[in-house]
Structure 1
Amino acid sequence: MSDQSGNESGVTREGLEHPRPGREAPADDLTVRRRGGAGGRGRGRGGGRRRRGRGERAMVPDVEFGSYYGKPVLNKPVWSAPDIAGYLFLGGLAGASSLIGAAADARGEDRLARVSKTGAAAAAVLSLSALVHDLGRPMRFLNMLRVVKVTSPMNLGAWLLSAYAPAALAAAGAALTGRFRPVGVAGTVGAAALGPAVASYTAVLLSDTAVPAWHDAHREMPFVFVGSGAMAAGGLGLLGAPVAQQGVPRRAGVLGAATEVGCLKLLEHRLGFVGEPYRQGRSGRWMKAGEGLALAGSALALLSRGEGCGRRTAGAVGGAMLLAGSACTRLGVFAAGVASAEDPRYTVGPQRERLQRRGAER
């Protein structure tokens, strides 16, 4: 490398040979940097921030993260809200209704059994339809059944729904027609056995993604979805069953609402900053609506105990609120995931916190 005077300069093992004038930074420039920038003004006394336990000052100020051209770090989910949010809600309703239908059979409550089994079958068919519609072509769903991949929640979910839907349809058909009782019993037992998995596997499906609001909530999400499904199934039973047979759906709805609301509070508290989408924006409004409907529906369900026209009305209105509350929660969870994927802060912020914790532990 040569300068204007023709001298060669370079770095060797012995040091810098033929130093070029102006190679080193001027002392006044370094002084300005140490003081926090031009004008000599920095943050705090003496400019810059002191490191913990040392007398050194940070030369580079903190900056807010911004992605290239304002683009998100993650690609947001390409799933459509009506299809997949409905798929989440209907799966929970179907799985929990099958359990209530089996309990109603054991108690000899035929009307409740018919309502729950029919609701489970209808929800299973609609859930499958929503999934296939979002995929675009039925063959894409069938292609998932060509293999069994235990590490893929979507693949296992496809197999689970393929086994659950025929069982639920058989149970509902026997309950509605009063015929083929052995087939109906087998369908009821099979649907009830698979019901908990159907109600909760979609939580695993969401948590297995890189979306911050879903992935970081993997501990509480299955409990939220199971509680939401029980709340919806209980609401359906309160709407369709006679007052004398509302004991099981009432308990399921109230317990499910308490589980959903309580686990969501734990989720938001543990996630902290990443849990903001569950409290803010459009997703936050869905979540608040779901919580309000769950609490109001539970109160009306508890007031519906006993006989009387007013209590029957309270039970029906409470059941409708529980169903609507469960649907709002699923919409809110879906929207919160999309919002967290669109904002790079929810991806980069937790990574920085983890790095800082590791640095402090060393």
Structure 2
Amino acid sequence: MTGSDVTRGGVEGARPGRDALTGARTGRRRRRRGRGEQAMVPDVEFSSYYGKPILNRPTWKPLDIAGYLYLGGLAGASSLLAAGAHVTGRPGLARAAKLGASGAISVSLAALVHDLGRPARFQNMLRIFKPTSPMNLGSWLLVGYVPLTVAAAAADVSGRHRIVGAAATAGAAALGPAVATYTAVLLSDTAVPSWHEGHREMPFVFAGSGATAAAGLALACAPWQETGPARRLAVLGAGLELGAFRLMKQRMGLAAEPYEQGKQQRLLRAAEALTAGGAALAAFAGRQGPRAGGALPMAYAGWRGLAGGRSRLLTVAAGAALLAGSAALRFGVFHAGVASAEDPKYTVVPQRERLEARARSDGR
């Protein structure tokens, strides 16, 4: 383009709406250099050619993939809880956790295959072993983990092959932490801004969320007298989940903005309230029931039954709140990532900030 191409009406031959926006609508404001001077380039708004987003919107189905994220965390943490209950002689808690892990991971795998479209696509991921691919490693992880959880649950229910069941329980517990957190690595490894920018804290968020879900399932299904470890897990998991999530948003900068908008904001606020409330209720319920051991006067017999029934209701309510809170978190994170991919601002601004920071450091 030469000087003769520019006229008072603009660039000669320009086609409005067909070129990249560089002026009033691209997003950044230049400072005024003097009192009477105005910037040559006004405020800009981020856009792209033909109105297309910079990133392709994730095509994953929300119910399938967000459900896959949630159930995987529930299963992995439940395997850890099952192993602990098995070792400490809590058969009711161990059975609830084993059945929960087996059922959750089976439905999670079915949701993943349903999103892929046909089982052959999952099988194709097993044709190679690629350590640099979270999806490939996750596929191999599921192949090893699913049979272990099923074997542990089957041995517990049938009462047979106890040695095999104990070995399967231990193996599932060894893989459980990876199953609960690898989906965070899977999301963070994408170019989606609100997932990628949280790669440091996202595994801790998912670990805490999986712990609260597993604790919630145990509180709702296991005998009240054996739920002590689940109540403690609920408190620890809630603290990890809520603390890591807040830290993640603080460090993400602009990419944290989608978490505060739309339906994902409502889901995440509900998740925070349900998780914190469920953990508090679980801790409170543990203090309300009758204490085991010791002879009580007959006058206290009726109180003991009443207190136990009330504690059981509080425990089930706490478990339901924790399960719902963990699910709301996973769905909120999923929708926030999709929203960030649809707006080019969340891709462009962090990239420019990183380039400017690198240029300043090189200039020193």
- TM-score for both structures, normalised by structure 1: 0.85
Shift of 1:62: 4.6
Aligned partner of 1:258 in structure 2 is: 239
Aligned partner of 2:271 in structure 1 is: 290
Q: Which has the higher contact order (CA 8 A, sep 6+)?
A: 2
Query: Which is worse superposed, 79-88 or 68-77?
Result: 68-77
SS in 1 for 2:126: helix
SS in 1 for 2:55: coil
Aligned partner of 1:325 in structure 2 is: 325
Aligned partner of 1:14 in structure 2 is: none
Deviations 1:266-324 (A, max 9, x none): 01111121101112111111111111100110111011113322211111100110000
Among candidates 35, 60, 85, match of residue 45 of structure 1: 35
Aligned partner of 2:191 in structure 1 is: 210
Question: For 2:6 and 2:335, how far apart are their aligned partners in 1?
Answer: 52
Are 1:242 and 2:232 counterparts? no
- Partners of 2:53 and 2:342 within 8 A in 1: yes
Question: For 1:152 and 1:249, how far apart are their aligned partners in 2?
Answer: 34
Shift of 1:48: 3.2
Deviations 1:171-212 (A, max 9, x none): 000111111111101110110000000000000000000000
Question: For 2:6 and 2:238, how far apart are their aligned partners in 1?
Answer: 67
Question: For 2:5 and 2:116, how far apart are their aligned partners in 1?
Answer: 62
SS in 1 for 2:125: helix
The verdict on how the C-alpha distance between 1:218 and 1:25 changes in structure 2, with shifts beyond 3 A counting, is: closer
Aligned partner of 2:65 in structure 1 is: 84
Shift of 1:25: 9.6
Shift of 1:47: 1.1
Question: For 1:23 and 1:234, how far apart are their aligned partners in 2?
Answer: 73
Question: For 2:337 and 2:112, how far apart are their aligned partners in 1?
Answer: 18
Shift of 1:24: 12
Among candidates 174, 178, 181, match of residue 200 of structure 1: 181
Aligned partner of 2:12 in structure 1 is: none
Identity %: 60
Are 1:137 and 2:127 counterparts? no
SS in 2 for 1:336: helix
Aligned partner of 1:178 in structure 2 is: 159
Question: For 1:25 and 1:160, how far apart are their aligned partners in 2?
Answer: 61
Aligned partner of 1:31 in structure 2 is: none
- Partners of 2:47 and 2:53 within 8 A in 1: no
Deviations 1:246-270 (A, max 9, x none): 1111111111111111111001111
Shift of 1:70: 2.3
Question: For 1:93 and 1:149, how far apart are their aligned partners in 2?
Answer: 26
Question: For 1:24 and 1:139, how far apart are their aligned partners in 2?
Answer: 57
Are 1:301 and 2:291 counterparts? no
Question: For 1:146 and 1:340, how far apart are their aligned partners in 2?
Answer: 33
Question: For 1:132 and 1:64, how far apart are their aligned partners in 2?
Answer: 40
Give, as a single letter, the amino acid of the residue that structure 1 aligns with 2:120. Answer: M
Question: For 1:25 and 1:149, how far apart are their aligned partners in 2?
Answer: 54
Question: For 1:206 and 1:353, how far apart are their aligned partners in 2?
Answer: 22
Aligned partner of 2:90 in structure 1 is: 109
Give, as a single letter, the amino acid of the residue that structure 1 aligns with 2:114. Answer: H
Are 1:267 and 2:222 counterparts? no
Give, as a single letter, the amino acid of the residue that structure 2 aligns with 1:319. Answer: G
Aligned partner of 1:349 in structure 2 is: 349
Question: For 1:343 and 1:291, how far apart are their aligned partners in 2?
Answer: 26
Shift of 1:81: 0.2
- Partners of 2:79 and 2:97 within 8 A in 1: yes
Are 1:334 and 2:324 counterparts? no
**Quick check: which has more Rg, 1 or 2?**
1
- TM-score for both structures, normalised by structure 2: 0.84
SS in 2 for 1:297: helix
RMSD: 2.0
Aligned partner of 1:10 in structure 2 is: none
Question: For 1:220 and 1:80, how far apart are their aligned partners in 2?
Answer: 24
Shift of 1:328: 0.3
Give, as a single letter, the amino acid of the residue that structure 2 aligns with 1:344. Answer: P
Shift of 1:103: 0.3
Give, as a single letter, the amino acid of the residue that structure 2 aligns with 1:345. Answer: K
Shift of 1:242: 1.4
Shift of 1:63: 2.2
SS in 2 for 1:76: coil
Shift of 1:64: 2.3
Structure 1 stretches of 5 or more lacking a match?
Answer: 1-21, 27-41, 50-58
